[in-house]
Amino acid sequence: MDTKRLSNQFEPKFFKEHQEKLYQALEDKHTTVEMMDEDDPLNTKMVLNMGPQHPATHGVLRLILQLNGELIEKAKVDVGYLHRGVEKIAENKTYQEFMPYTDRMDYLSPYSNNVALCTAVEKIANVEVPERAHYIRMIGCELARISSHLIWLGTMVMDAGAVSYFIWAFREREKLLDIFDQLTGHRFTVSHARIGGVANDITDTAMAMIKEFVNTFPKELKDWHKTLDRNRIFFDRNRGVGVLDTEDALESGATGPTLRGSGYAYDIRTVTPYARYEEVEFEVPTRLEGDNLARYYVRMEEMHESIRIIRQCLEKLPKGPVRTDNAKQAYPSKDEVYYSMEGMIHDFMMTDTGICPPEGAEAYHAVEAAKGELGYYIQSDGSGHPWRMKINSPSFKNLQILEQILEGEMVADTVVIIGGVDPVMGECDK
C-alpha cells in the first residue's frame, strides 16, 4: 500500500494561518505553573492537540495543551467549529421565525432558549403575557434544566469512570423527553414558547406525566447521592480539581453553576426575577470550594430545587388563556384561523411581517438557563426583523475560564474538568 498517500489522508487539515497563530498564542502565553524537577526522566515537553473530534469534549471543542510530563503547563481553547452565524441569520428573520434556531443553540435545554428569546422580544415590544403561560413556561424551563443536568451527570460521571451512570441518567432523561413530547409536540427541539405566551395548553396526559415524574424523580436523585457522595474514587477524581477561586470567578466572567460553585449566589431567577419566579420559593445552592466537586453538589441540589419549583407551579397553575389575545402581538389561536376571516388575515400578517417593536428601541433580557445567564440583546429598526440581536451565551463565558483552570492540572483530569464546566458548543459558537 502506498504509505505516502495514506499519511496524507490522515494528516489533520487545519487552516494554515489559523494553526500558526494558535501555536504562537500558546507560546506567548504567560502562566505561573511551577516546573517539575529538571532531572526527572518523565520531564518531556510536548504539545497535545485534543479535539475537535474528541468524544470527551462534548461536541467540537478543541484544546491545545502544552504538557510537561503529565502536567498541563499552558492551555489554549480553540472554539468556532460549530459557528453557524445565527446572529446574522436572526437579522434576516422575523422574531418568531428565529425561534427554531434558538432550540439549536443550547440543544440540551431548548425550552429555556425559547423562553429567553420570547421574554426579550416581549420586553422590547411591550407584550403582556397571560398568567397561565408564565407558569407553563416555568414548568418547561425547570424540566429543561433537569434534562440538561442529567446529561451533565451522565457524561461527567462517565468521564470519571462510572459508565453505568450514563445509562441511569439517560433513562430518567427519556421520561423527560416523553413529557416534552406530550407537552409541546416535540421530544427534543421543542419551540413551544410563543411571543405573547406559549403554543398550547398543558394536556391532561402531560399533566399526569409531570406529576408522576415529580413524585418518582426525587427517589432516583436520592439513590444517586448515595452512590456518589461517599464514593472514594469519585471524590478523589473531583476534589481539588479544576479550582476556580472565589476572587477570580467574577473577574473571569464565570456564570451559572460554575460561578455558584465558587461562592457567588448569583442566579437571575432571584436577582432580577422574570416570569413568576418571585412567587415560588426555592434556594440558590452555593458552594465555596470552586472545584469540580462543588459544581457537582450545586447541580445536584439545583435538580432538587427544580422539582420544588415545579411542584409549586403545579399547585398555583391559574386558569385562563395561554397566549395574549392581541392580533398585533401574537398569533391567533387555531380556532380563529380556521373559522374566521380576520383570524386568517392576522395569522398571515404575523407570519409575513411579525411583531414590530418601536423604532430605535433596545432591550436586554436574561434568563437563568441550565448553563447560566442566557441573555438576548435586541436592537430594533421598527421593522419585523431585529437590526441587531446579540446572544449572551453562558457556555462561551464558561469556556473562557477553562483556559485558566486547566493550567497546573494533570492531563488525565482534562476530560473531568470539561465535564464539570459543562459546555455546549452549539451555544458557545453561535
Given the rule CB under 8 A, which residues bind another protein?
15-18, 20-22, 25, 28-29, 79-80, 83, 85, 87-89, 92, 123-124, 126, 248, 250-253, 264, 266, 271-272, 360-364, 366, 373, 375, 377, 379, 387-388, 390, 392, 396-397, 399-400, 429-430
Residue 52: is the preceding peptide bond cis (ω within 30°)? yes
Min CB(371)–another protein separation in Å: 14
Min CB(375)–another protein separation in Å: 7
Dihedral over Cα of 253, 254, 256, 260: its sign: negative
Min CB(389)–another protein separation in Å: 10
Min CB(1)–another protein separation in Å: 12
Min CB(265)–another protein separation in Å: 10
Nearest to 139 by CA among 301, 280, 284, 267: 280
Judged by beta carbon, residue 279 or residue 362, the one nearer another protein is 362
Round to whole Å and give the CA distance between 115 and 366: 10
For residue 374, give the 3-state DSSP assignment.
strand
- Owner of C-alpha cell 434544566: 145
Judged by beta carbon, residue 301 or residue 373, the one nearer another protein is 373
In the 3-class helix/strand/coil scheme, how is 74-141 assigned residue by residue?
Answer: EEEEECCCCCCCHHHHHCCCCHHHHHHHHHCCCCCCHHHHHHHHHHHHHHHHCCCCCHHHHHHHHHHH
Judged by beta carbon, residue 225 or residue 390, the one nearer another protein is 390
Gyration radius (Cα) of the chain, Å: 23
Min CB(268)–another protein separation in Å: 10
Judged by beta carbon, residue 89 or residue 410, the one nearer another protein is 89
Judged by beta carbon, residue 87 or residue 131, the one nearer another protein is 87
Judged by beta carbon, residue 215 or residue 272, the one nearer another protein is 272
- 11 CB burial (10 A radius; 0-12, 13-18, 19+): exposed
Round to whole Å and give the CA distance between 330 and 353: 12
Contacts of residue 166, Cβ cutoff 8 Å, sequence gap at least 6? 154, 155, 157, 158
Judged by beta carbon, residue 246 or residue 333, the one nearer another protein is 246
- 275 CB burial (10 A radius; 0-12, 13-18, 19+): buried
Q: How many alpha carbons lie under 13 Å from residue 337 in its C-beta half-sphere?
A: 12
Min CB(283)–another protein separation in Å: 18
Min CB(30)–another protein separation in Å: 8
- Owner of C-alpha cell 459508565: 163
Judge contact between 356 and 382, C-beta under 8 A: yes
Min CB(250)–another protein separation in Å: 5
Judged by beta carbon, residue 40 or residue 362, the one nearer another protein is 362
Judged by beta carbon, residue 121 or residue 143, the one nearer another protein is 121
Q: Which one-letter amino acid corresponds to residue 200?
A: N
